[in-house]
Chain A
Amino acid sequence: MTRIESWSPGRLARVVSMLFVAAIFLVPIAGFVAMAFRSNDGVENGSGGFLGLGDIAWSNVRYSWSQVNGFGPEGGLFTRWLTNSLVVAAGGAILAVVAALPAGYAMARLRFRARRAVLLITLVTMVMPNTVLVIPLFLEVNAVGAVGELWPVALIMGFFPFGVYLSYIHYLTTMPKELVEAARLDGLGEVSVFWWIGLRISKQVVVLVAFFAFVANWTNFFLPLALLSSNQKNQTVSIGLQQLIGASPLFNPTVAAGLDVKLYMPQLALATFISMLPLLAVFLGAQRFLIRGETVGAVKG
């Protein structure tokens, strides 16, 4: 295992270039996270040394949070946006799981005429960027008069073909045909086979589908932008962050002058940092399953 190699020029070049790329990726992120803990004055004076690390303090966070969450006519909009994101992202993920498991099972283990057609539609919609459908979706939701409401967003997010593909692969690999045949001969109907046997071995795929759906929903920008922009209270945190940027004196002095709160870079960084925490939480929760499901998950990238 541990082969003793000499530091040949090739090996040295490989390690150095990999570390160099790693630094390019990590330094901006470290500086950005540090920014969330810095003060406006410190940023302006350029104090704090390397990446401003000397400037970080908990009191800065408390001040920045008061500014971020003070945004809006009565304040508290940011918390509201986080709650909305949680509702649509979790609601969409639950719908995705409920729909994906039986559908994936049916496509993997049942034979019916339209099977290949449904599979093809699923694969094609899975690899297409989902933004191309947003304006048609807006027209649809507009036609039923539900623009600005949260439930259509969650419902649309429930359509998650990648989840169907994941559960299709899951049943293809974990549930042998013979098991299905045996259960049938035991007198179980097709739905009962799924319900009593298929669901028993589904923990792994439930976590995977829920995780990928939640992350995709949480970071979705274009769909909530089109469907929720008209109602400030019902926005999600991804488009809320855009509003905070638009209200920053750094980029829009005229708008910012009319606000009680001052949103400079530390406040924007803090808001972004907080908006990422739920993703961190679901990642840590799902980590165990993600590693086992790595080969399946890698298909989507």
Chain B
Amino acid sequence: MTTATVDKRSTSVPVPKPQRSRAKASRSSETRGAWILLSPYVVLLLIGGIVPVGYAIKTALEKPPTPLDPSTGFGGVASFKTVFTDYRFVDTFQNVLATLVIWLPIMMVGIVGLALLIHASPGRFGSAMRFVYYIPGALAGIANFVLWVYLLNPGQSPIEGFWHAIGVDTIKQAVAAPGQLPFILTAMMFFQGVGSWIVVVNGGLNGISEDVLEAAALDGANAWQLAWHVKLPIIRPWIGYAALMNLAYGFQLFLEPQLLDQVASNALPDQWTPTQLGYAFAFSNYNFPAAAAMSLILLVITLGIGLLIVFRSGLFGKEDN
């Protein structure tokens, strides 16, 4: 089939035509074809991305109806003021930062360390370990949460001894002790997330050419020096990509703190993260303008991180050979 089309081309190319108008015509038919092919995606992009953002901007600039004054209408930046001056606003971001400070370094050391260990273990043992580390990642979201309820509840936990040793008898004590939550969230998110990132970073390590590693080994580098001085610098882009993606992930924390509060008899703050606060504006206070304003604030933060990832990681622009 390919040869047939090539033959056809060789016979049809020499037909002399004004070069510019032909290029122009093919350009416009290409553009038309592109938009026809893109149309289903563009419709979904509008419904699932552009329109909601536009509508959120509009909603955020309205004033919320109150029992005394049920009218809505243009309210300017009042809803942003409501959000910024909310007594929980600063706390929620501090909580996220407190979690990120603990979680992100542990996560990155875990990802890079385990990926390097796997890369240093060729053959079946390495790939078996990579698969094992990946398994908890399959327990996404709520399933991971129920698993952690099982671990955190001293009543039937397999690490019951550990809980009793530190004087914890109920899940409420385990979760709600002051300052404990960032550590528990770290453990939960590490367990769930590390495996898939190991696969990503391991992919980067597998891209290092054998020659480089052999040359270093001939120079007398041991396994440790090889990892530290040769492999680590080469996979730096992957590490940066993983760090930024996980940083953005930290700002969307919702499920874990929300449900931990539920299993700890509401002993935790009800709105511990920014996303929880936005959720409360919408579903507890029915203050849609404030909820919209809160999501726009989070959107700007994660959009900034997103743009950083796209432009720094080389995802964008590498295709134009």
Mark A residues whose CB is within 8 Å of B: 10, 14-15, 17-19, 21-22, 25-29, 31-32, 35, 43-44, 46, 51, 95, 98-100, 102-103, 105-108, 110-113, 115, 118-121, 123-125, 127-129, 131-140, 143, 155-156, 158-159, 161, 164, 172, 179, 181-186, 189-191, 193-194, 215, 219-222, 226, 229, 238-239, 241-242, 245-246, 250-252, 265, 268-269, 271-272, 275-276, 279, 283, 294-295, 298-299, 301
**How many angstroms between the C-alpha atoms of A279 and B42 in the bound complex?**
29
B141: chain A residues within 8 A (beta carbon): 219-221, 238
Tell me whether A185 and B8 are in contact (CB under 8 A): yes
Across the interface, B255 reaches (CB within 8 A) one of A115, A125, A222, A226, namely A222
13 contacts between A and B (CB under 8 A): A25-B136, A27-B158, A100-B41, A123-B316, A127-B248, A129-B248, A132-B275, A138-B282, A139-B291, A158-B44, A185-B9, A194-B37, A221-B254
CB distance from B241 to the nearest CB of A (A): 9
Q: Count the B residues whose beta carbon is within 8 Å of the partner chain — how many?
A: 106
CA A237 to CA B248, docked complex, whole Å: 26
Task: Contact check, B294 vs A135: say whether CB atoms are below 8 A apart.
Answer: yes
On whether the beta carbons of B55 and A172 are closer than 8 Å, the reply is no
Contact pick for A32, options B140, B150, B251, CB 8 Å: B150
Q: Report if A133-B142 is in contact (Cβ < 8 Å); known contacts: A28-B158, A102-B38, A140-B55.
A: no
Q: Give the complex CA separation of A179 and B9 in angstroms.
A: 11
Q: Across the interface, do B49 and A14 meet the contact criterion of CB distance under 8 Å? A: no
Q: Check: B80 CB closer than 8 A to any chain A CB.
A: no
Q: A129 contacts B302, CB within 8 Å?
A: yes
Bound together, the chains give a CA A183 to CA B6 distance in angstroms of 9
Contact of A179 among B2, B31, B47 (CB under 8 A): B2
- CB-CB < 8 A to A182: which residues of B? 2, 5-6, 8-9
Contacts of B191 in A (CB 8 A): 25, 28
With A22-B132, A29-B147, A242-B142 already in contact, 20 other A-B pairs whose C-beta atoms are closer than 8 Å: A21-B133, A25-B132, A26-B135, A35-B156, A95-B44, A103-B38, A106-B37, A112-B34, A128-B306, A129-B252, A133-B299, A139-B288, A155-B48, A156-B47, A182-B8, A215-B140, A245-B149, A251-B262, A265-B153, A272-B142
